Structures are given as C-alpha cells and as structure tokens.
Amino acid sequence: MSERNEAGAGRPVLLRGGTVLPMEGARTVLEDTDVLVTGDRIAEVGPGLRAPDDALVIDATGGIVMPGMIDTHRHMWQTALRGYGADWTLTQYFVWFYLEHGKLFRPQDVHAGNVLAAIEALDAGVTTVVDWSHGLRTVEHADAAVDALRSVPGRYVLAYGNIQQPPAEWTAAPEFRDFVRRRITGDDLLGFQLAFDVLGDPAFPERAAFEVARELGVAVTTHAGVWGATSDEGIRLMHEHGFMTPETIYVHAASLSADSYHRIAATGGSVSVSTESEQSAGQGYPPTWALRAHGIPVSLSMDTSVWWSGDLFSAMRATLGADRSREHLEAHANGDTVTHAGLRADQVVEWATRGGARALGRDDLGVVAAGRKADLVLIKNDRSPVSFPVLNPFGHVAFQAQRGDVHTVLVNGRVVKHEHELVGVDLAAARRQVEDTVAYLRAEMGEEAWRQGMNPDIPETKILDNPYTYTDYRSDATHRL
Ligand SMILES: [Zn+2]
C-alpha cells in the first residue's frame, strides 16, 4: 500500500470526523471533529476541514482522537525479560537485577530490550517514554540504549542511570561527560535526565550527582518513597540541600509522610505513579489518593515489563481502581459511605497525556490543539464489540479501550501505526535480538537459577479455623470438615 509507505514523508494527515479529546479545559469533548497535521505540528482542529490535495485522509468516525500517551518511568532494557518476574516482589527484583544478574546484561542486551520496549510503546499509543535506564554500567551500554531508541520512531527521554555504581562516581566519569557531548544533541525526539536514588545517608553522597545535573541543566528522576529502599530521609536531604526543583520527577512516592508530600508540593515537582507496580511489588499503596489531597501533579508509568506490559490503558484502569478502593476503604473505616467518587475518568486520561507532558516540561505535548506537536492516537476498532457505543469518551478510554484498539499513531507528525499495523518497524529483527538475549542470559545463569529466579518460594498459606459446620442442604448428610 503506497499510502502507508508515503505517510511518514512529511505528507499532511487529516484525521476525519473523530471524537476529539483535546485535553484543554475540563472534560471538553469535540464530536465529529477533524484534526489536520502538517509537518511535525497540528495545523488545525475543527469540523469539516479541507484536506490538502496530497493529504493522507484517515477515517476517524466512531473513534476517539487523543494526545499520544506519555510514560514517565519505564526500565526499557528489562523488556527483554518480559513477564519473567510476574510473581516477584521488590525483594526478588532487587536481588535479581541489582545484586545478581543485572550485571550480565551486555550492551546488545540493553539494545534488545530497548528496541522491543520502544516498539511496544508505539503499538499501544504511548508516543513518549522516559527510559529509566539504570542498567548502564558502561558507556557502551548507554550508546546501545540510544542506538536502540534512535531506531524506533517514537519520542524518548533517556534517564541515564547505573545501579552498579554510586551516582557520584558514574556522573563524574570523563566517559560519561563525553557520552553526553556525543549523543545528547538537543534533538526534540531525545531528551535527557539523570536517574538515581537518594538512599538517606546523612552525609548525602548523592550531592555530587545533583550538582552534575544542575551543571548540565537536566532534570533528576528518583525512586522516592519505596518501602524498604528510599524514605522521607531522602526527601529531607534533597530539600535541605536545595535539590528539589519543579522538573524533578519522584517515582512511586508511595510510602512517604505528609511532611514529604508537603515538600514536594512546595517545590513544584511531580510524581510518576506506577499503580500496577506498587500493587504487586510493594513500594507502598498507589499514592494518587494522597497526591490529590496534597495538590501534587501526577503522571503515569508502567515501570517494567518484567511484570506488566507497557500499556497505559492498564495504568489508567488500575489507577482509577486503586484510588477508588482507597477512598471507599477509608470511608468505611469511619463508618461512612462514598456517594460521589473523587477521582474521575477524565483525570486519569489527563495524567496519561498532559500530566506526563507537564512533568517533562513539554507544553507542546499532551494536548490536541493547533500549534502543538502532532503526537496523536486514534482509538478505533470496527471489529470490536467493545468499540461502541461511545457515550462517555473519557470513561471509554480508561475502562473500555485496550492496546488492540489503537488504530493509528502519529509521532512528530509521522504515521508510525496505521490501521492497526506498525509502520516502518522491523518486529522480526526485534524478536531475533530478544531471543539471542534470552538464550544468552539463560545459558549464563544456568537452567536451575533461571527457573528458580522465575519461581520464588511460595509462603505457606494457613486456612483459618472455621467455627461453622459444613452443611450440604441438598442431602440429609452434614459433614464436619
Ligand atoms: Zn522503577
């Protein structure tokens, strides 16, 4: 289909007749509206737009047009081990990656994970991903990470990290500085942050790394409020030394005190919430209910595909569920009833789009409006019984839609998915690379360690004593169990 092949070549694109969620203004929905894209920008949004002669016209009727979703925290290198840690807690994660096997990853393994994660993101309508890349134990690994991101036509922020060395050390290395000079060139499609955690040592050894970030003029992203790993102490140290800034992204922030939340709110930072991760791994209760109460901006993230797929539909759904669960639970503990839910569907859609853009300081993303960057998603699936009726578009996105419903995706004006098929992406090559990485890791670890790693011991479950006698009313017999 020549139409598809030409779609990336600067050709205008008209999304015709969709239900548009502009994410400007509360709960605004524009029905039967066109979106015209020229170059890398949205040129016009409105009804009945005239298509330029050479435009690719995409029928968006019955579908929802929204900004590309933004994931503010994903360890893309780990996607090579998709699903391996489904039954892990943070304990198994830390032992496996930080202490034992993370060191096995070669540059080509980081490359393999990143490529697959990047493709997966585009497929799911996630147009910007912060690659929280803490497996960069050499600069060769970092070059491989960037090469991978460059090879897949999405928008990325490389958050450079290295769990095998203290941040003060790797940020001071001349080869790290050289990497930044060589590879971080101010390209709009590749941003840069530093990624490290503040462990609470009163001597604040992370200071030097914060100073490097300040000197480079880049943001820091940090796992904060992770039960058993980072705590209020880290927040206090950052605050007292003047390193809590509006561009700082606090990941999880799930087990912090009100005092820490006040410090985050007062310094203008935002929190990246990975609800599915917090629910399974144990960082703390997914904190949106507390963040809302403290007026702290939120973005969403998937964390790692070692457990979950890189899909913000599931993030929105899980976040609504966790927030509402908590609200009901707190009310019931006081003998009260929640009659009106505090968190609404449009809010989680906002967090998945504009919230991420704000966290990254990108006012030109996360909004469908003239002049903004053309990172767009069309959700439409004519073969799906779940695609209609679309009565409440925000609710539809948050609770009904899923990655298979992503019909078309544009990044920077370029069509990267069309009619449910990725454009200009070599999935077979990505598969071969990941298969090589898996075979290598499995051989290095040995079969027993590989299997044990995937199957942590199951704690004994004690069935509680039951004061009632089992009764089967269908017969005369009664049995005591
Ligand atoms: Zn993380």
Ligand 1 geometric centre to CA of 418 (Å): 31
Give helix then strand counts, H and E, for the chain: 17, 17
As to burial, measured by CB atoms within 10 angstroms (0-12 exposed, 13-18 middle, 19+ buried), residue 177 is: middle
Write out pLDDT tens, residues 34-87: 999 999 999 999 999 999 999 999 999 999 999 999 999 999 999 999 999 999
Instruction: Name the stretches of the chain with pLDDT < 70.
Output: 1-9, 475-481
pTM for the model:
0.95
Instruction: State the Cα–Cα distance between residues 252 and 272, nearest whole angstrom.
Output: 6
Ligand 1 geometric centre to CA of 123 (Å): 22
Instruction: State the Cα–Cα distance between residues 229 and 256, nearest whole angstrom.
Output: 12
Ligand 1 geometric centre to CA of 10 (Å): 36
Ligand 1 geometric centre to CA of 74 (Å): 7
Contact indicator for 158, 127 with CB cutoff of 8 Å: no
Ligand 1 geometric centre to CA of 8 (Å): 33
Ligand 1 geometric centre to CA of 250 (Å): 10
| Per-residue pLDDT at 182 | 98
Contact indicator for 33, 378 with CB cutoff of 8 Å: no
Closest CA to 56 of 423, 442, 333: 423
Contact indicator for 61, 348 with CB cutoff of 8 Å: no
Contacts of 388 (CB under 8 A, 6+ apart): 62
Ligand 1 geometric centre to CA of 326 (Å): 23
Write out pLDDT tens, residues 167-192: 999 999 999 999 999 999 999 999 99
Ligand 1 geometric centre to CA of 448 (Å): 27
| Per-residue pLDDT at 6 | 45
In the three-class reduction of DSSP (H, G, I as helix; E, B as strand; rest coil), residue 108 is classed as helix
Contacts of 46 (CB under 8 A, 6+ apart): 33, 34
Instruction: State the Cα–Cα distance between residues 342 and 117, nearest whole angstrom.
Output: 33
Tokens of 35: 């979106």
| Per-residue pLDDT at 3 | 42
| Per-residue pLDDT at 25 | 81
Q: With pLDDT > 90 as the criterion, what percentage of the chain qualifies?
A: 93
HSE-CB of 447 using CA atoms within 13 angstroms: 0
Ligand 1 geometric centre to CA of 208 (Å): 22
Ligand 1 geometric centre to CA of 73 (Å): 6
Closest CA to 412 of 127, 108, 26, 169: 127
Ligand 1 geometric centre to CA of 42 (Å): 33
Closest CA to 253 of 233, 228, 231, 276: 231
Tokens of 441: 């890791």
Tokens of 34: 């066109």
Ligand 1 geometric centre to CA of 304 (Å): 7
Ligand 1 geometric centre to CA of 223 (Å): 6
Contact indicator for 294, 265 with CB cutoff of 8 Å: yes
If you write DSSP's letter for every residue of 416-449 in order, what string do you get?
EEETTEESS--HHHHHHHHHHHHHHHHHHH-HHH
The angle formed by the CA atoms of residues 290, 22 and 130, to the nearest 5 degrees, is: 55
Neighbours of 39 (CB within 10 A): 13
| Per-residue pLDDT at 386 | 96
